Amino acid sequence: MAIRSPLCKARKGGFKDTRPEELMIEMFKQAVARSTIDPGLIGDITVGTVLAPSAAYEARAASLAAGLMAITDISNKIRAGQIEIGLAVGVESMSQNPDSGWQPHSEQLTTHPIAKDCSMPMGWTSENVALDFDISREEMDEAAALSFQRAEHAQKAGWFAHEIVPFTAYINDPATGKRTTKVITEDDGIRYGTTKDALGKIRPAFPQWGRAATTGGNASQVTDGAAAVLLMRRGKAEELGLKIIGKHVTTAVTGVAPRIMGVGPLYAIPMALEMVGLTKEDVDLYEGFSRVMAANYHNANAANSPYGSGDPYYNESSGYITPMPMKKRTSNWVKFGIPVALAIVVAVVVGAVVGSKHSSSKTANASGSASDSSPSGQAAAASSAASVKNAIGIYPTGTDSQYLLPLYPSTTNAAAFTSPTFHPTTDASLAWPQDPFQPSNPSPTSLRPDRPRLIAPSYKWQVLPQLIANDVYLKLWNETIFGNATEYYSLPPVQYFMDGSSGILDNCRYVKERVKAFAYVYRMTNDTKWVDRTVQELDNAAGPNFGPNNSTKWNPSHFLDTAEMTAAFAIAYDWLYDILSPSQKTTIMTNMITYGLSQGIHGYQNANGGDWSGWWAADNIQGNWNCVCNSGLTLGALAIIGDDTTGTAEQILSLSIPNAVRNCVNAVSTDGTWTETANYWYFGTTGHAEMASSLMTAAGSDFNMLVGSNFDLTGLYHMYVSGFGSLFNYGDHGPNKYSSTANPMLLYGDYFQHPEYVLFQRDQHDAPEPWSMFWYNPTVSGAFWDGMPLDHFFDNSTDQWASMRSTWTDETGMYVAIKAGELLGHQTHNDLDCGDFVLDALGTRWAGELGSGDYNSPDYFTSDSQDAVRWLYYRKRTEGQNTILVNQQNQNVVQAQPTVNHGTTGEVQGSSTVYNVPNSSTAFWTADLTTAYNDTTSFKRGIRMLNGRKQVLLQDDITASQPIMWRMHTNATVSVDSSGSSATLTIDDKTLNMQVLNPTTGINLVIGDAVRFANDPPLPAGAVDSPNPNVTVISISLDPGTYSLQVLFNPQWPGMATSDFVTPPSVAIDSWTVTSHN
């Protein structure tokens, strides 16, 4: 348990009239209530505080991090065996015990040449740090503004809610002296709307010292509050059934010169890391706290440090507390204060790579190997690449908390971030050895003699520990899998829940996710508790309380459910084969045949007979359903061949493989696009990759699941459909992904020799899971972005879309994606969205997608014909997209046959993560969308990047005989100016201006809610639209006629003046070229 009170401004906030002992008592009450343990079990309590009603600075000088030291004190007592459970509490009331005004200090202190500095105010030390370390007022204001902005975003998003407990505070009535109580529930010191410019107008707080750079705006507020952490032995926590959220490993204390005591963390952190065998690159997240502080710890100019200068003033001693050897970890979280650094290892991770951000022409397929192709040359290249990889560590320094995208450091280290390459080698500590199973005439029913068969053969398990030791990514993923398995272990088995038309799919994918983790950890540890937990999960999923007690237990009418559960049972059967008892194997196999494989045979036999259990097996069902269903059945059959005496497994393989080759394999268009949607790519490729990989490992061939397919291009699709505000997520998004990830990129990258696919995916938040451990080629090196074009155009007529960006590695860059394409052939997952677009800039999405409707809505999936009920729902209708609407009618489903044109100046990003876009750089895409509309003589839409990819122009050249409406959906707060032709969009502290160029008389930007028109056709009885809270529609309405409507988007980039933006010339879309707007 780790909880805190709200943090309130001293002398002004919610706790200003609450005494420190009252804060402490309330903290005790909350700790007892929240811990759910008998308070009599707590062996000791340590309370840390700085300011007490006495001369306090000597305490502050020694232990400003009093709360952290309380944790250390309790941890040491537990470690020494003095207590089993302890409570560490921190309490501070700067309202009641201000940092001044108490008894004078002894002359022994005030006359000592160094010790006297301990009595100086914090503002003095801040100004000294700014002066000695060359930190400017501008840097301090910038860091402070960013801190406030992040805190504002976090508070609004509810990220603090789980750690804050309601606190009863006392309020003094100054008129009567009467005390009343009030419950405080959130921090009250976060200043919303803080900007660097606003902070720059605040006068210095300490003009008498240093550079006078510290202000009331860029210094920490004085705060009242309390916090508590409950610590105990792991065994005691498990005995009491408590969730373990963290582990205290070590604490380091260092002494620094009092005049610059604020730099303590710069010296204490390396000490703490060294104690536990970590480097600063190993740490995913630093959490810091301070009071008045000039130093930005990440950017402090260490080169100007006075330490080591020979000045005896700075030759201070340092010490440490509780050094411990580092044990296996799952993630890193280092929390630092002044002057104590406390290293904490988090016990449970759910699979995110955590950690900040920011040529010459090369092809996107930058595959290759060492230039010296001799065995010795290849071995040397592989060894060198491995050394560089481990020296750099995990490339991203963080994961964007909103969009879950990796954040890359700003570096020009061209030696480290080189072209994507594989380095073949026979060194088993650096690369997978060749599979010894090489059948001369592969057959799906003639399988490898050893176990496992599926995805991870025994020869890979044998060398995996060596590879983990030599590869930072495998090491991270392995630890994350262990952490996830530990979390799942303590949870009850997955409970049956029928979610309407979505069936029990979430249940089945969750079981599969758990089984993969449990089986993996067993094979890495040989600890049979993981086998027992797997069997418990399987027994529950086939037991009397999980669904109907007949052959439809796994819901074959929604066959995805059946397939995913079959895959889960197959993985358990195969990966645990050598440890399961004969009766356990018989039970698992019988359940798999009864509830899974037999239902699959029925489905194949009724694929065209109107039976819902088999519609997915009909020819031309080329999407995720076909891939996932065939895959699950194939894994199940491969797992039990040789043990199954019924012939069911062989029959399944005779049906599943040819069916998947005819259908699943064709789900990828000729340009690599997944024909359903960007989100359904995850489900489909996961099913496809699991099936192809299992066939290769079990039978020695992919049986044309990969050879000759377009899956070699689908990695490019996934890379380019990924923007800075998440995916270009048109159409339906699908259910929870659970066991569905983007890790097929690792398999495709290795098989098709696209190292850039592997490098791209290994940095993603969903990379850590068991399949990654075996699909990843550890000989890969380089940076995916080196040589990667900024733009790509996908021209297959089914989709037709474009992706344009200003960078691959700075999440604040520009990203634009737009689509046309046909409105049929998407497995009933698309929208009526020709011309739809998204726009990302400044780290946020300005024009976005609404996503899926309610899958349980009547007839949501029944048909995609023009009169289908699906097209009655707002999120699927044309009015729910970022495109043009004519006569408030949907686009023409049958006749839509757009044609496209495009161009680019062809820039590619080099090896550096810092990419400066040339001013002449541009890209454009146009589409003739006339056939997608009724009542329209001509309609062409174009979009292009301008001004070195800092601005975007969206243009519509249209002639229509009915009213025209331009529409865009945004999460921004929108303010339209008095002219009606321009608007300011604001999200958090970011701003984008949009302007209608050369506006026709009467044009007005109008804002409204994302809801259906009053005169839209009615929904089915009882049906409702999915709500779209916090979404604003910006629209422009035009009378019938001919127009060239040009809308210019200007993100307000830091440091870019109004005069730096350009106004493009008016050019008819038919005349657009790369140079037409110069």
Dihedral pair phi/psi, residue 374, rounded to 5°: -70, 155
Question: pLDDT (tens digit, 9 = 90+) per residue, 537-576?
Answer: 999 999 999 999 999 999 999 999 999 999 999 999 999 9
pLDDT of residue 226: 85
DSSP state at residue 647: S
Nearest-CA neighbor of 266 among 442, 133, 74, 393?
133
Dihedral pair phi/psi, residue 624, rounded to 5°: -65, -35
| Mean pLDDT along residues 478-507 | 94
pLDDT of residue 1003: 87
Nearest-CA neighbor of 27 among 74, 90, 69?
90
How many residues are recorded in the chain?
Answer: 1078
Residues 617 and 544 in one domain: yes
Whether 697 shows a pLDDT value over 90: the answer reads yes
| Mean pLDDT along residues 839-845 | 96
Widest distance between CA atoms in the chain: 98
Residues 724 and 825 in one domain: no
**CA 713/CA 754 separation, integer angstroms:** 9
Task: Answer for the pair 196, 141: CB distance below 8 angstroms, yes or no.
Answer: yes
Residues 333 and 396 in one domain: no
We report the CATH number of the domain holding residue 275 as: 3.40.47.10
Whether 381 shows a pLDDT value over 70: the answer reads yes
**Other beta carbons within 10 Å of 105:** 15
Asked if the structure places residue 1077 within a domain, the reply is: no
Higher pLDDT, 186 or 799: 799
| Mean pLDDT along residues 574-583 | 98
Whether 866 shows a pLDDT value over 60: the answer reads yes
Asked if the structure places residue 352 within a domain, the reply is: no
Task: Tell me which range, 119-133, 694-708, 986-1000, is most confidently predicted by mean pLDDT.
Answer: 694-708
Asked if the structure places residue 942 within a domain, the reply is: yes
Final residue of a domain: which of 788, 816, 847? 788
**CA 781/CA 796 separation, integer angstroms:** 32
- Residue 789: which pLDDT band, with cuts at 50, 70 and 90? very high
Coil, strand, or helix at residue 1074?
Answer: coil
Residues 310 and 392 in one domain: no
Whether 521 shows a pLDDT value over 50: the answer reads yes
| Mean pLDDT along residues 391-411 | 81
Final residue of a domain: which of 769, 788, 807? 788
**CA 357/CA 409 separation, integer angstroms:** 4
We report the CATH number of the domain holding residue 889 as: 2.70.98.70
Asked if the structure places residue 583 within a domain, the reply is: yes
Residues 511 and 573 in one domain: yes
pLDDT of residue 311: 43
Here the tokens at position 894 are 């049958």
What are the angstrom distances between the C-alpha of 97 and each of 46, 177, 225, 333, 977?
A: 20, 20, 12, 32, 50
Asked if the structure places residue 65 within a domain, the reply is: yes
Task: Answer for the pair 666, 660: CB distance below 8 angstroms, yes or no.
Answer: no
Range of the domain at 1038: 790-908+917-1060
The mean-pLDDT minimum among 29-43, 112-126, 860-874 falls in 112-126
Residues 749 and 808 in one domain: no
Asked if the structure places residue 1051 within a domain, the reply is: yes
pLDDT of residue 315: 37
Residues 260 and 398 in one domain: no
| Mean pLDDT along residues 327-335 | 35
Q: Please report the DSSP string for 463-477 in residue order.
A: HHHHHHHH-HHHHHH
Higher pLDDT, 501 or 632: 632
Coil, strand, or helix at residue 1042?
Answer: strand
The mean-pLDDT minimum among 177-181, 907-911, 982-986 falls in 177-181
Whether 661 shows a pLDDT value over 90: the answer reads yes
Asked if the structure places residue 955 within a domain, the reply is: yes
Q: Across all residues in the chain, what is the average pLDDT? A: 85
What are the angstrom distances between the C-alpha of 4 and each of 11, 186, 589, 824?
A: 20, 10, 50, 54
Residues 155 and 42 in one domain: yes
Q: Domain tally for the chain?
A: 3
The mean-pLDDT minimum among 218-227, 954-963, 991-1000 falls in 218-227
Residues 328 and 429 in one domain: no
pLDDT of residue 219: 83
What are the angstrom distances between the C-alpha of 307 and each of 313, 796, 850, 947?
A: 9, 63, 56, 46
Here the tokens at position 119 are 């009595």
Residues 292 and 431 in one domain: no
Question: pLDDT (tens digit, 9 = 90+) per residue, 459-484?
Answer: 999 999 999 999 999 999 999 999 99
Asked if the structure places residue 996 within a domain, the reply is: yes
Residues 332 and 394 in one domain: no
pLDDT of residue 369: 40
| Mean pLDDT along residues 496-516 | 94
Final residue of a domain: which of 772, 788, 804? 788
Task: Answer for the pair 540, 555: CB distance below 8 angstroms, yes or no.
Answer: no
Whether 36 shows a pLDDT value over 80: the answer reads no
Residues 821 and 886 in one domain: yes
Nearest-CA neighbor of 413 among 389, 382, 430?
389
**CA 552/CA 562 separation, integer angstroms:** 9
Q: Is 84 exposed, middle or buried (0-12, 13-18, 19+ CB in 10 A)?
A: middle
We report the CATH number of the domain holding residue 466 as: 1.50.10.100
- Residue 316: which pLDDT band, with cuts at 50, 70 and 90? very low
| Mean pLDDT along residues 827-856 | 96
**CA 877/CA 834 separation, integer angstroms:** 11
**CA 400/CA 477 separation, integer angstroms:** 18
| Mean pLDDT along residues 520-548 | 97
What is the residue whose two structure tokens read 């331009």? 966
What angle in degrees, to the nearest 10, is found between the helix axes of 472-489 and 529-541? 60
**CA 531/CA 446 separation, integer angstroms:** 28
Task: Answer for the pair 218, 37: CB distance below 8 angstroms, yes or no.
Answer: no
**Residues with Cβ < 8 Å from 658, sequence gap 6 or more?**
none
When computed from its CA atoms, the radius of gyration of the chain, rounded to whole angstroms, is 31
Alpha helices in 930-1019, H assignment, sequence order: none
* Predicted TM-score (pTM) above 0.85: no
Higher pLDDT, 301 or 646: 646
Whether 1032 shows a pLDDT value over 70: the answer reads yes
pLDDT of residue 156: 75
Question: pLDDT (tens digit, 9 = 90+) per residue, 109-120?
Answer: 555 655 667 667
- Residue 214: which pLDDT band, with cuts at 50, 70 and 90? confident
Whether 636 shows a pLDDT value over 70: the answer reads yes
What are the angstrom distances between the C-alpha of 731 and each of 345, 836, 874, 1050?
A: 40, 10, 12, 27
Higher pLDDT, 243 or 625: 625
The mean-pLDDT minimum among 115-124, 309-318, 485-494 falls in 309-318
Whether 335 shows a pLDDT value over 90: the answer reads no
What angle in degrees, to the nearest 10, is found between the helix axes of 529-541 and 559-575? 150
